[in-house]
């Protein structure tokens, strides 16, 4: 199944690349970067996590000053925390491997390489990586579908290379309920939380 999926993805990428070569309004290319993620506002003992991001980006020029941007991006959401006294000292890293689909508008002066971006971004969380020094098992209480808004700025270095910095502000409550039960800690109440992320990305367009 994995081989078939990779083959289909490769053929789709080749097809869009060929289209990009023939239509100047359309361009596609791979992107890589680094992301800083956290869950809502960081509380005492909580830290943001830094992980790489990568994917495919597509631009469709819809007007002289507006470009529609979409694609598929793999990011890592989550945070790390050092619990010093509730009810015992513990350190953990809670990561969520996520596929996101940006749906944004790049707004730029015709003669200027700088641009701004606004839009929305749905995401699908396909894997949870939870590591702790004293919790042997963990049941995820988080939703697998996420949604939020994106905003950012960027700069086109020629016709092919693009750098941008984007901020993702999750709107969806990441928790399935208002409480959870964890080994050692027992039942705890949880408040509404959402994902936050900064992404610095470089993209090469064909």
Q: What's the pLDDT tens digit per position in 189-203?
A: 677 889 999 999 999
23 token code pair: 């239509």
| Residue-level pLDDT at 179 | 66
SS3 96: strand
Stated pTM of the model: 0.80
Which fold, 26-204? Porin (2.40.160)
C-alpha dihedral over 147, 151, 156, 161, to 10 degrees?
Answer: -30
pLDDT, tens digit (0-9, with 9 covering 90-100), for 159-170: 889 999 999 999
């Amino acid at each position: 199944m994995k081989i078939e999926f990779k083959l289909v993805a490769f053929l789709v990428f080749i097809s869009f690349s060929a289209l990009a070569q023939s239509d100047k309004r359309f361009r596609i290319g791979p992107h890589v970067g680094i992301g800083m993620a956290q869950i809502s506002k960081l509380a005492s003992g909580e830290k943001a996590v830094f992980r790489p991001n990568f994917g495919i980006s597509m631009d469709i020029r819809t007007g002289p000053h507006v470009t529609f941007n979409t694609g598929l991006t793999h990011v890592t959401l989550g945070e790390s925390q050092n619990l010093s006294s509730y009810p015992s000292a513990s350190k953990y890293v809670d990561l969520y491997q996520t596929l996101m689909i940006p749906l944004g508008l790049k707004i730029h002066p015709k003669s200027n390489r700088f641009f701004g971006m606004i839009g929305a971004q749905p995401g699908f969380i396909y894997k949870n990586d939870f590591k702790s020094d004293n919790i042997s098992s963990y049941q995820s209480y988080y939703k697998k579908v996420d949604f939020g808004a994106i905003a950012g700025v960027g700069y086109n270095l020629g016709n092919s290379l693009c750098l941008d910095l984007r901020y993702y502000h999750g709107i969806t409550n990441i928790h399935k309920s208002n409480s959870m039960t964890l080994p050692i800690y027992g039942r705890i109440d949880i408040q509404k939380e959402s994902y936050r992320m900064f992404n610095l990305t470089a993209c090469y367009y064909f």
